[in-house]
Amino acid sequence: MGRTNPTFRDFLDRYEDDWAAYRRGLRRRHKPHFDRLFERARRHADAAGYMNATDPEMAFVVSVLLAQEAELRELRDRLDG
């Protein structure tokens, strides 16, 4: 039997395509930051896919937040140490 939901990686590809017009409207200096949001979400695609969420947008948001939290912790550790 096949999966009833598309994979999270497939969702991310489609979701990024859905936001392409928004990205085009951004100033050049903000586009790399926007792209990094999707890169960060892809780092946690295994966990999000394992969850097989009915709302993959929330899994996207949590994946981005998790990546940002990890980066903040790393920066704080560098400052403290």
In 3D space, the residue among 7, 8, 63 whose CA is nearest the CA of residue 40 turns out to be 63
Question: What would the pLDDT profile of 25-61 be if each residue is shown by its tens digit?
Answer: 999 999 999 999 999 999 999 999 998 878 999 999 9
pLDDT(1) > 80? no
Alpha-carbon distance of 30 to 68, in angstroms, equals: 17
Question: What would the pLDDT profile of 58-72 be if each residue is shown by its tens digit?
Answer: 999 999 999 999 999
pTM, two decimals, is 0.84
- Count CB atoms within 10 A of the CB of residue 62: 16
